[in-house]
Structure 1
Amino acid sequence: MLEGILFFPVTPFTSDDAIDLRNLSDHIDAGVRAGAGGVFVACGTGEFHALDVREFTSVVRTAVETVGGRVPVFAGAGGALPLARQYARAAEQSGADGLLLMPPYLVRGPAAGLVAYVRQVVAATSLPAVVYQRGTARFDVPSALEVARLPGVVGLKDGTGDLDLLSRIVTAVRADPAAGGREFLFFNGMPTAEVTALAYRGIGVDLYSSAAFCFAPEIALAFHRALTTGDDSTVQRLLAGFFHPFVTLRERVPGYAVGLVKAAVRLRGLDVGGVRPPLTDPAPEDLARLERIVAEGRALLDPVGVHLP
């Protein structure tokens, strides 16, 4: 169903804080033409938390129309249970191919409660769902198995970084025919996932989402190609020269995982506006540093010989 670079586009806003559907379409089309293997719209990088259902519906519909069946389109859903069901139904009605079910906000429930949450959301739609394990949603091995066995659940995206636990979950799910066995999908969902891609691949999790693909697809593609072909020298060169400096800058301010990405898309020439509160846009000095990091990353590609199609 999914392979290669997974593209999580930003959601553009106009100067009067409306959704900019034209620039959203341009942003998504550029990503698909660059080689994305799937589009995950209105998710974390797309500020799902800041969209009402009407806005969400217009974003998903625009993504589906723009992609035109070239790759799968998954849409975010999450938050309070009634709203999560509403977003899930809206995604299906808008033509999405699947859901990324994100954690409920604020409250932290026990494993049994999380399983019940997933069960009720996926029951509201016929779309296949990938469940995002992060923040307030953390599964142990028995509850992960229970979720994986639910009809309609096709994958688990991990944003916890707990490789010990995830390794045990991967082994248990892949050994269980009722959970889909080896057909069940696992994703590295850590922020700037390239930094942890080697570690996740070590436990059999090859798929990952790339925020960098939003604004530097040539760098993201060069890294992915090097990673999958065993070109360790290029992997290390891009980690040291681009991804690690980007992460250092990202960690300066909470929410920069989205704010920096959106700013970098603007630097590339597409006016996607700023982020909605409670996130904040980068300070001028951080914006200048971001511009240098991206330029230094692109300079590393000359010896790599990777160019966009």
Structure 2
Amino acid sequence: MRIELDGVTAVLVTGYRDGTTQVNQDAVSALAAHVSNGGVPVLTALGNTAEVHQLQGPERSAVLQAVASAGHSGTLLAGVAGPMAGMLEEIELAHALGYHAAMVHEPADPFGDGTGLVRFYTELAHMSALPLVLYLRTTRLSVAQLRDLADHQRVAGIKYARPDLHTLGSLLREGSGSRCTWINGLAEWNSPAFAAIGVTSFTSGIANARPEIAMAVHRGLSTGDLTAVHRLIEEYVGPVEALRAEGSGRYNVSVIKALLRWEGLELGGVRAPHCELDEAALARLATVSAHPSAIASATT
């Protein structure tokens, strides 16, 4: 089983109308088309940047349908979260809509160690209509458990957002998971560190608004032009991501939606516990030049 997951994976935001009252399927579809036309090869519906944990079942279905309707020619990932039974239902819908794999959010249940997680992922993989991409954020899985999951025939990729990059480096050196694709789940900001151990594919929120920047970062990683990558990070990616990460990520989504407004795409507000940008945060974001010299040179 091989799903094309190399390169940039854009994690799409969810568009609303009337503030955050309803999912705006037209806006979601327009966003997916915008990112696809920007050359991004992999689109994820219902990632964390989509506020997936604040969406009800029918709203998640609406997002899946809207992204699928955009006609993306690359890979489509459907994010799934919550109880396993609900995940399987949403995976069935995603399969029918033409998605290529399901991106599995790490269970939020506070109980359960690595053994429980392995059982959860293994059972889900066995029953899923689609291959899985595991989104890993905590260190509950041991090295041996990571190795076994990476070698599972129904695991197409692992989105690695754990803080222990040395563990991933050890697994890569021993050739673990040769059938799956390892993806940097910590975005452009951390891409040089991941590239140093051989992982140049990464997820991106910035790609919602500025796909050319995400693609330029990946091009620099792939060609070894780290000077260009570091300039992009210093002049654009770094300031944007620092603001997104502030206060345990309270502005994670609102920053992207503000950037989208500046690109002429209105995706509405954000639902609690996410926060809208206050005046000071918006002013800080505005100081990030729309076309700094690094971007002008790196994206041409």
User: When the two structures are superposed, what TM-score results if normalisation uses the length of structure 2?
Assistant: 0.91
Name the counterpart of 1:95: 98
> Contact between 1:9 and 1:45, CA under 8 Å: does it hold in 2?
yes
Q: Is structure 2 residue 272 aligned with structure 1 residue 280?
A: no
Task: In structure 2, give the amino acid aligned to 1:24.
Answer: V
> Contact between 1:73 and 1:96, CA under 8 Å: does it hold in 2?
yes
Name the counterpart of 1:213: 207
Name the counterpart of 2:127: 124
Q: Is structure 2 residue 14 aligned with structure 1 residue 11?
A: yes
Query: Following the alignment from structure 2 to structure 1, what is the Cα–Cα distance between the partners of residues 30 and 245?
Result: 29
Gap regions ≥5 residues in structure 1: 176-180
Name the counterpart of 1:54: 58
Give 1:127 shift: 0.6
Q: Is structure 2 residue 263 aligned with structure 1 residue 268?
A: yes
Count of equivalent residues: 295
Task: In structure 2, give the amino acid aligned to 1:264.
Answer: L
Name the stretch that deviates more: 56-65 or 249-258. 249-258
Q: Which one of the candidate residues 158, 161, 164 is aligned to 1:162? A: 164
Structure 1 residue matching 2:189: 3-state secondary structure = helix
User: How do 1:173-212 residues align onto structure 2 when only pairs under 5 Å count?
Assistant: 174-175=175-176, 181-190=177-186, 193-212=187-206
Name the counterpart of 1:139: 141
Task: In structure 2, give the amino acid aligned to 1:292.
Answer: T
Query: Following the alignment from structure 2 to structure 1, what is the Cα–Cα distance between the partners of residues 119 and 289?
Result: 43
How much is the aligned-residue C-alpha RMSD, in angstroms? 2.0
Structure 1 residue matching 2:273: 3-state secondary structure = coil
Give 1:169 shift: 2.8
Name the counterpart of 1:24: 28
Structure 2 residue matching 1:251: 3-state secondary structure = helix
Change (3 A) 1:299 1:52: same
Name the stretch that deviates more: 145-154 or 99-108. 145-154
User: How do 1:217-296 residues align onto structure 2 when only pairs under 5 Å count?
Assistant: 217-254=211-248, 255-295=250-290
Q: Deviations over 1:161-204 (max 9, x none)?
A: 211112223334x25xxxxx5232101001xx212111111222
Structure 2 residue matching 1:66: 3-state secondary structure = coil
Query: Following the alignment from structure 1 to structure 2, what is the Cα–Cα distance between the partners of residues 157 and 278?
Result: 24
Query: Following the alignment from structure 2 to structure 1, what is the Cα–Cα distance between the partners of residues 34 and 145?
Result: 39
Name the counterpart of 1:104: 107
Task: In structure 1, give the amino acid aligned to 2:46.
Answer: A
Query: Following the alignment from structure 1 to structure 2, what is the Cα–Cα distance between the partners of residues 133 and 43?
Result: 12
Name the counterpart of 1:300: 293
Change (3 A) 1:106 1:282: farther
> Contact between 2:81 and 2:106, CA under 8 Å: does it hold in 1?
yes
Give 1:155 shift: 1.3
Structure 2 residue matching 1:218: 3-state secondary structure = helix
Task: In structure 1, give the amino acid aligned to 2:23.
Answer: I
Name the stretch that deviates more: 249-258 or 126-135. 249-258
> Contact between 1:222 and 1:304, CA under 8 Å: does it hold in 2?
no
Task: In structure 1, give the amino acid aligned to 2:231.
Answer: R
Give 1:160 shift: 1.3
Change (3 A) 1:121 1:289: same
Query: Following the alignment from structure 2 to structure 1, what is the Cα–Cα distance between the partners of residues 126 and 81?
Result: 14
Structure 1 residue matching 2:247: 3-state secondary structure = coil
Name the counterpart of 2:152: 150
Change (3 A) 1:140 1:152: same
Query: Following the alignment from structure 2 to structure 1, what is the Cα–Cα distance between the partners of residues 258 and 127?
Result: 36
Change (3 A) 1:305 1:134: closer
Q: Deviations over 1:210-265 (max 9, x none)?
A: 11111122222222222222223222211211122223322322332222112221
Task: Choose between structure 1 and 2 for higher RCO, CA contacts under 8 A separated by at least 6 residues.
Answer: 2
Give 1:67 shift: 2.3
Query: Following the alignment from structure 1 to structure 2, what is the Cα–Cα distance between the partners of residues 302 and 258?
Result: 22
Change (3 A) 1:58 1:251: closer
Structure 1 residue matching 2:90: 3-state secondary structure = helix
Percent sequence identity over matched residues? Answer: 27
Query: Following the alignment from structure 1 to structure 2, what is the Cα–Cα distance between the partners of residues 85 and 53?
Result: 12
Name the counterpart of 1:178: none
